[in-house]
Structure 1
Amino acid sequence: MDGSYRTLSGKSLESNILFWGQENCKPNYSFKGNNVRDNYVIHYIQKGKGTFASANHSMVSLKAGDVFILPKGVPCFYQADGQEPWSYFWLGLSGIKIRAMLSGSLLSTQNYLKQVQGSKFCQSLNDLFNAAHSPSSLTNDILIEALLYFTFYNLNVEYPTKKRKNSITKDEQLRAAITYLRQNFDNPNLSIVDLCNKMDISRSYLYTLFKNNLSFSPQQFLINLRMENAKEFLANTDDPIQLVSRAVGYSDEFTFSKAFKRYSGFSPKMYRQSLPKQD
């Protein structure tokens, strides 16, 4: 085991970081102390993997990019993998608002989140951990408190508690998915995972919904949507290929050109040249 640990002297009653730590665990290492904590302790897994369980929840396997929390007053167990033991950092949180700020997030119901890397929540959590390392001062104390609220803001926005599904039909779900893709196809960061999270459905369910009704996977539908719009741009504008690629959700012209040729059999330039000249 190697790592670091520090207790902070915060003063806020509403929300506060009590301590932070970082650990590179040995194979099969598990915490041997009191498994019921007096405070909330959130962990971010930086590399490796392990298992985690909390009271009334099944054991789950977690890996780098995942987050788990030890809720206040709840028995928990977590153990590093025997072959690829995890490394993680943690933040101990206290204050009368912590529970309330957690309550609107999925983290509060299942006590873990998978693959949060790249999210605003993950970025602000890392910023908060880094700020906790700095010596105490008025400005750094203000920064820590601001980052703490910002972290919970991002947590609740990006990973809200799953609401009970309304009695929505499959046709309505399909229409909603198609509408979302049509309205956002020009966003290069759009992904099918985003769509599933927004609709609160699994990727496999969405795949079946599209294949059974349209004979396309959601990803292929998105590609078709982008390519058909690209044809319109190529036919009706003199915009450079680079601008056309951006207009249909590709940040890279080369990637767009390859996708367009696979779809149409022509490069974007050749497709434009093959079109009949307009008088």
Structure 2
Amino acid sequence: MSVEYRELSNNNLESRVVFFGKANCEPNHFFTGNNVRKEYVIHYILKGKGVFASANHAAVTLHAGDLFILPKNVPCFYKADEQEPWSYFWIGLSGIKIQTMLSGSILASKHYLRHVEDTHFLNCLEKLFDAVHHNNSLTDKLLIESLIYQTFYHLNLEFPAEKKREHNTSTQQLEKAVAFLNDNYGDHECTIKFMCQKLNLSRTYIYNLFKEGFSLSPQQYLVKMRMEEAKALIKNENSTIQQISNSVGYTDEFTFSKAFKRYTGFSPNIYRKNNNFQ
């Protein structure tokens, strides 16, 4: 098993990185040291999978793109998968402000997050991991400290604690997301990732909003919007399939036709013929 591990000397009482590392784990590898930490240790899974459990929480299987934290003074267990052992990097944090900053996020109670890739939070965390490799100068130390605060800022913004997800706010954000898709579904560059960036919301949060509101994922909702519009347009004999394809956000007729058949069970041409005979 390849392991990188380093400790840092920093006397900042408010927030500091005390150690960091990276490991490519062997199958079934698990941490054999003290499972109750004196720090908050964030692990981001780079590839593979494994099992994570913390006190009073059920064990969960986590995959690449997921993240878990070993909270201070909380017993935890984590183990690499037998077939696809995980690789991850970790950052150990300490200081009197860490608990306060963490408390605004669902990570404080849940102890893990799924699908944090493509988030501002992860982007800052990766920058922090890179920065702690270079901590020789005052400038380096100031950068590290600023990145700690940026990381927790985006963690709280993108993965807020449940008590902060007020119904009205969630409803308004869902309405904004639906309005965005309604205004842009005809553009082939309209993707869920693009929408999340424009609305400054994480993909996980958007996904949960749509599942709770419509029992559909955001992608399924976008496809439904495009296909329902296409069905209406196909009834117009003056529009070619290529023109319809372009107007509902597809760059080529073949890709559109495959998507339309998956949605309706018919090719666009057959669907047009069936409707003309009704």
Does TM, scored on the shorter chain, surpass 0.5?
Answer: yes
Shift of 1:164: 7.6
Displacement of 1:206 in angstroms is 2.3
How far does the alpha carbon of each residue in 1:121-165 deviate from its partner, in whole angstroms, 9 at most, with x for none? 111111100111114211110111111111111111111112387
1:255 and 1:141, CA in 2 relative to 1: closer, same or farther beyond 3 A? Answer: farther
Match of 1:190 in 2: 192
Unaligned runs of 5+ in 2: 197-201, 261-266, 270-278
Give the match for residue 224 of structure 2. Answer: 221
TM-score (norm 2): 0.72
Question: Partner of 1:54 in structure 2?
Answer: 54
Distance (Å, rounded) in 2 between the aligned partners of 1:154 and 1:165: 15
In the superposition, relative to structure 1, how do residues 164 and 103 fare at CA in structure 2: closer, same or farther (>3 Å)?
Answer: closer
* 1:155 paired residue number: 155
Greater shift after overlay, 185-194 or 59-68? 185-194
Could you tell me how far 1:173 is from its partner in structure 2?
11
Q: Which residue identity is paired with 2:221?
A: P
Residue 103 of structure 1 aligns with which residue? 103
Residues 31-58 of structure 1 show CA distances to partners (whole Å, capped at 9, x for unaligned) of: 1111110010000111111000001111
TM-score, normalization by structure 1: 0.72
Question: Percent identity, aligned pairs only?
Answer: 44
Q: How many residues align?
A: 244
Amino acid in the other structure paired with 1:116: V
Give the stretch that moved more between structures: 177-186 or 91-100. Answer: 177-186
Instruction: Indicate if the aligned counterparts of 2:3 and 2:22 stay in contact, CA closer than 8 A.
Output: yes
Q: Which is worse superposed, 196-205 or 5-14?
A: 196-205
Q: 1:259 aligns with which of 244, 256, 259?
A: 256
**Aligned partner of 1:218: which letter?**
Y
- Give matches, 1:239-254, under 5 Å: 254=251
Tell me the amino acid that sits aligned with residue 222 of structure 2.
Q
Corresponding letter in the other structure for 2:38: D
Whether 2:211 is the aligned partner of 1:203: answer yes
Which segments of 5 or more consecutive residues in structure 1 lack a partner in the other structure? 211-216, 236-240, 267-279
Distance (whole Å) between structure 1 residues aligned to residue 107 and residue 98 of structure 2 = 12
Query: Structure 1, residues 251-275: CA drift from partner, whole Å, max 9, x if none?
Result: xx73589438976959xxxxxxxxx
1:124 counterpart SS class: helix
SS of equivalent residue, structure 1 residue 31: coil
What is the letter of the counterpart of residue 254 of structure 1? Answer: T
TM-superposed CA distance for 1:68, in Å, is 0.3
1:66 aligns with 2:66: yes
Change (3 A) 1:71 1:261: closer
CA root-mean-square deviation: 3.9
Following TM superposition, by how much is the alpha carbon of 1:100 offset from its aligned partner in structure 2, in angstroms?
Answer: 0.9
Counterpart of 1:254 in 2: which secondary structure? coil
Match of 1:269 in 2: none
